[in-house]
A and B are shown apart, each in its own frame.
Chain A
């Protein structure tokens, strides 16, 4: 007769699940190996002195076009497969280690004594050098050519009073814009956060799927910059502060849902257990066991979000989403640095004040 324990373990280790994990490890290794190979070839080409069709040294973009992708994919796959097959003598590969864990004898070794440690170190090194070339880092220029930017700095130090009045008016608009975006985001984020909290959505498959769906939508939404949302909403409702409100609203919903749901995930389970034990329904458990624990941190996050939205609305204004950024952009383009200086100071003072006030309020709440 098998014990309950053996049966549960067997369920977790079906050949199918084992196979899937093996495959995941192999895929991960292939990708990592491919990255290493690509970067080695990239660096080799960059330092080979080869010249492009124009007769000049190859630019990073040209090198990226020249890399032997199909060939390296094959090699990476073969190497990864070999490493996964012979992980005993070679040491566990990073992919296998991530998905299936390491061999016991490797458990407590420092990274310098494992092959995957060295591999990771190599990967990081290569990434740094490749990054240096791809982003065209020029330390010398950075350190010696400051004089060109001095004009701007001088202008910023001598703010002009001409835009002060208009700037103040738009500053008020900015603060309200950020407030409305936050206010509209609260109810939606509040409702979504319960669905997006892992600990509340383990009950049945409907809950699990809602969780996955909510998380996916939230992450996709957050991945799109508010600037892009602004462009979308400007063509939807036209240039002006309302487009900015909508752009920040979408982004705030996603961001607040994430923060709220993380808060829900970290609540004390004791009261939840106690309320459940009285025979309360799911909604009552939420109302009595969960909500009182999350309201203060929620408030705190929300104020913080308003604060962030004030900062973001400046950038949103650049593309026509209302607020103070709207008059900042043309002055930057014209090089009217004195006026830019005034506006930047207004923004800085506001952000600074919001920061202090929100920090103080949040301190009191929690």
Chain B
């Protein structure tokens, strides 16, 4: 069924070697279609974060090409690159809010890619953008918190601000890097459901690195597994079983007793 949908991400032969010689990615191909919720899994250090960051060039890939929505990301420079990036929202494990700014400014900063230089330098946004930001805050359950300082919020609340920032960006693709790994287990589903909403209600394509197999099974439509920088497995959540698990994580890993990897 995914065959009819447009290709959102088309990455070919991605390799990343850090200056210290660490090979974080080794010839990875990745194809993501519109509307997918793709989970990337693998042990820590397997290259998941590096892969996500190579997609929007927060990290410069050593080799390979990336095209997103048909635009060649790897060749883009300056304005062109910023235009592509503004179409890709990102959610981080550590939330990455500007801690000293208010919640509202943090949400509004999602719109920086399309706002004028001078107005944004003065932290000035149009009434229209403000209203929109307030609406998104209400939607993630943070009504009334818009003038709190970001670092006064709890981890779960901060991640919801980050989701509101992603909504504000009006992106068509979301890259989420371990969005719930630093949160209390009880809060994980609440955040994951918000991300699911981005996927289902907003129609955003989601690529999400995840640690927790239960979460992967519950939310992802498709899985890609990395091991030591290589793509070792690819398939649907239903195809994922104990054997694939050991294939990805090594013989010593135990799926039953060890759903948190």
- Interface of A toward B, CB cutoff 8 Å: 3-5, 8-9, 12, 268, 270-271, 273-281, 283-284, 287-289, 292-293, 295-296
Docked Cα-Cα span, A279 to B172, in Å, equals: 13
Docked Cα-Cα span, A9 to B21, in Å, equals: 6
Docked Cα-Cα span, A229 to B244, in Å, equals: 72
In the assembled complex, how far is the CB of residue A36 from the closest CB belonging to chain B, in whole angstroms? Answer: 34
17 intermolecular pairs with C-beta atoms under 8 Å apart: A4-B17, A4-B62, A5-B17, A273-B58, A275-B109, A277-B88, A278-B90, A278-B112, A278-B113, A279-B85, A279-B112, A280-B113, A281-B82, A288-B98, A288-B105, A295-B100, A296-B100
Does A280 contact B23, Cβ atoms closer than 8 Å?
no
Docked Cα-Cα span, A93 to B71, in Å, equals: 54
In the assembled complex, how far is the CB of residue A224 from the closest CB belonging to chain B, in whole angstroms? Answer: 36
**Known contacts A3-B26, A274-B165; 5 further A-B pairs (Cβ under 8 A):** A4-B15, A278-B90, A278-B109, A278-B165, A287-B120
Which residues of chain A are near B111, meaning CB under 8 Å?
A: 278
In the assembled complex, how far is the CB of residue B155 from the closest CB belonging to chain A, in whole angstroms? Answer: 13
Which residues of chain B are near A270, meaning CB under 8 Å?
A: 92, 94-96
B 1-37 to A, binary, CB cutoff 8 A, 1 in contact else 0:
0000000000000011101010100100000000000
Which residues of chain A are near B175, meaning CB under 8 Å?
A: 277
Docked Cα-Cα span, A8 to B100, in Å, equals: 40
Q: Which of B15, B23, B84, B92 contacts A274 (CB 8 A)?
A: B92
Interface of B is mostly: mixed
Q: Does B63 lie at the interface of the complex (its beta carbon under 8 Å from any beta carbon of A)?
A: yes
Does A288 contact B112, Cβ atoms closer than 8 Å?
yes
Does B62 contact A292, Cβ atoms closer than 8 Å?
no
Interface of A is mostly: helix
Docked Cα-Cα span, A12 to B21, in Å, equals: 9
Which residues of chain B are near A295, meaning CB under 8 Å?
A: 100
Docked Cα-Cα span, A280 to B116, in Å, equals: 10
Does A284 contact B98, Cβ atoms closer than 8 Å?
no
Docked Cα-Cα span, A288 to B86, in Å, equals: 16
Residue of A nearest to B95 (CB): A270
Which residues of chain B are near A3, meaning CB under 8 Å?
A: 15, 23, 26
Docked Cα-Cα span, A67 to B104, in Å, equals: 72
Q: Does B99 lie at the interface of the complex (its beta carbon under 8 Å from any beta carbon of A)?
A: yes
Docked Cα-Cα span, A293 to B83, in Å, equals: 26
Which residues of chain A are near B85, meaning CB under 8 Å?
A: 276-279
Residue of A nearest to B22 (CB): A5
In the assembled complex, how far is the CB of residue A158 from the closest CB belonging to chain B, in whole angstroms? Answer: 52
Does A4 contact B63, Cβ atoms closer than 8 Å?
yes
Residue of B nearest to A9 (CB): B21
Q: Does B157 lie at the interface of the complex (its beta carbon under 8 Å from any beta carbon of A)?
A: no
B 64-93 to A, binary, CB cutoff 8 A, 1 in contact else 0:
000000000000000000111111111010
Within 8 A of A (CB), among B156-174: 162, 165, 169
Docked Cα-Cα span, A287 to B121, in Å, equals: 6
Q: Which of B58, B99, B110, B113 contacts A271 (CB 8 A)?
A: B99
Which residues of chain B are near A4, meaning CB under 8 Å?
A: 15-17, 23, 26, 62-63
Q: Does B117 lie at the interface of the complex (its beta carbon under 8 Å from any beta carbon of A)?
A: yes
Residue of B nearest to A286 (CB): B121
Task: Given A4-B62, A284-B120, answer yes or no on A279-B84 (Cβ-Cβ < 8 Å).
Answer: yes
Docked Cα-Cα span, A276 to B53, in Å, equals: 11
